[in-house]
Amino acid sequence: MKFSIHVIDDEKSIREGISMSLESDYTIETFATAEKALEIIKERPPDLVLLDIGLPGIDGIEALRRLKGMCPDIQVIMITAYEDIDTVITAMKLGAYDYVVKPLRMDGLEVTIHNALETIRLRKELRVLQEKYLQENLPCFIAESNEIKDVMEFISLVAKSPDTPILIHGETGTGKELIASAIHYRSPHFKAPLVALNCAALPKELIESELFGYEKGAFSGAGASGKKGLVEESDGGTLFLDEVGDLSLNAQAKLLRFLEDGQFYRIGGTKKLQVNTRVVSATNKDLLAMIKKDLFRKDLYFRLSVITINIPSLNERKDDIIPLANHFLSFFSQKFGKKISSISPEAKKTLLNHNWTGNVRELRNIIERGALIAQGNVLTHKDLGIEEKERHAIFDPEANKPVFPELSLAGIDLEEAKKTFERFYIEAAMDMAGENESEAARLLKMNHHTFRYRRKKLL
């Protein structure tokens, strides 16, 4: 790994001297002004910057402030002509790694550079390990669709702040708990505990003691030695509150007070306790609608949702269905001691056409079932056990054409009927056009780009 270093100093002799001494070990670029360097760094950030404080124009302190604003991870070593303590303290507060004083001693500078870059190397190795963990353990990170890639990029950004509350919205089975794990393991405090509570799984009267703990004899049945709550257990890490919309109004009020300053009391306790933990919450409910019905506190909603992440349903990310299915197939094939290497074309089509009301969780369960009962080394349509009810209700199998389903008191899924109807004609047009998209679009009197978009979305 060859690190890159930018040298920003208005003295040509300094720039040339540093460059000559370091160019055999590092990639060096030099700049006489901060203005020019900042333009380049914005597009192509280096690993480390040697930055002179006494620059013309934008001085070193202001340049440092802008550098850290653009690229917080860049290590910066300040160069100063004289050791002014106030200026040095300011630089360190702004995030400088260290400082050196002119005239420069190259042996001392090289040691400082080596130490700074060692920090970067360890950080990069840590990031690689984190990414490997996420890929191996969190299937929500298997992403081909732009929809989920955008979510993952956003998670990488917001996870860097270790204490900002995050609210995750998503349908059942979209992997909200996995997203919470991803946030935790990409945060600076990933080595600290990740503690989870499903607010819907406990009786409302037990939520408070589970969250905040209790002292000895606080209530009938309380343990003889008291108990730490999950808030205390998550100190320094992440507290994940799943199904937060199921909290009682009383529990909501106490959670809000804790979120304000990180302080709380155990039940029956008189000693105020304080922890530093990030609260990540999740729900599949419409909290804004609940606020209008006085079922959820408005002030708590805004405190929990400083950052909001919306997880797309599996039906909105069709490009991810087959990669996810392959991932689950590999896992369950190994678990069951089988050698199922692929999914048949017919089974893939079934997976793509299925209405995933249970999202990723439903897909996982279907692949687990299929892998368990499969006889050969290819997962078939029959192994999946998916009944294509929507297709049978809308298609005449003999004529192989769509028919209008009869409206009964049981109702019909109009949106799914429309999709199936459109899917039929897109497939028929592609067959008639010999798989030529432009010709198929013409047959359906559609713009080619519109046709391609709708075909990709539906198929």
pLDDT tens by residue, 411-457: 777 877 787 788 888 888 887 887 888 888 888 988 887 888 788 87
pLDDT over 60 at 51, yes or no: yes
b/e code 181-219 from CB counts within 10 Å (16+ = b): bbbbbbbebbebbbbbbebeeeeeeebbbbbbbbbeebe
Q: Is the pLDDT of residue 370 over 90?
A: yes
Name the region of 173 (left: φ>0; alpha: ψ -120 to 50; beta: rest).
left
Give the other-Cβ count within 10 Å of 327's Cβ. 19
Say if CB 342 and CB 380 are below 8 A apart.
Answer: no
pLDDT at 398: 46
Question: Looking at this protein, which amino acid is placed at residue 209?
Answer: S
- Residues 381-408: tens digit of each pLDDT: 899 988 644 444 444 544 455 556 666 6
Arithmetic mean of pLDDT, 318-342: 91
* CA of residue 105 relative to chain centroid, distance: 45
Cβ atoms of residues 135 and 141 within 8 Å: yes
What are the tens digits of pLDDT across the range 80-124?
Answer: 887 778 888 899 999 999 999 988 889 899 999 999 998 888 877
**pLDDT > 60? residue 236:** yes
Tokens, residue 163: 């204490």
Give the domains, in start order, of the chain with CATH numbers: 4-125 (3.40.50.2300), 140-312 (3.40.50.300), 316-458 (1.10.8.60)
- Asked whether the whole model's pTM tops 0.85, one would answer no
Question: Does the pLDDT at position 371 exceed 80?
Answer: yes
Chain segment 244-259, per-residue pLDDT in tens: 999 989 889 999 999 9
Half-sphere exposure at residue 288, Cβ-oriented, CA atoms within 13 angstroms: 3
Nearest to 204 by CA among 116, 295, 106: 295
The predicted structure's pLDDT at residue 224: 61
Concatenating the DSSP letter of every residue in 379-404 gives E-HHHHT---HHHHHHEETTTTEE-P
Question: What does each C-alpha distance from 28 to 64, 115, 247, 334 come to in angstroms?
Answer: 19, 17, 56, 49
Q: Which of 215, 291, 211 is nearest to 259 (CA)?
A: 211
pLDDT computed for residue 77 by the predictor:
95
Greatest distance between any 2 Cα atoms in the chain? 90
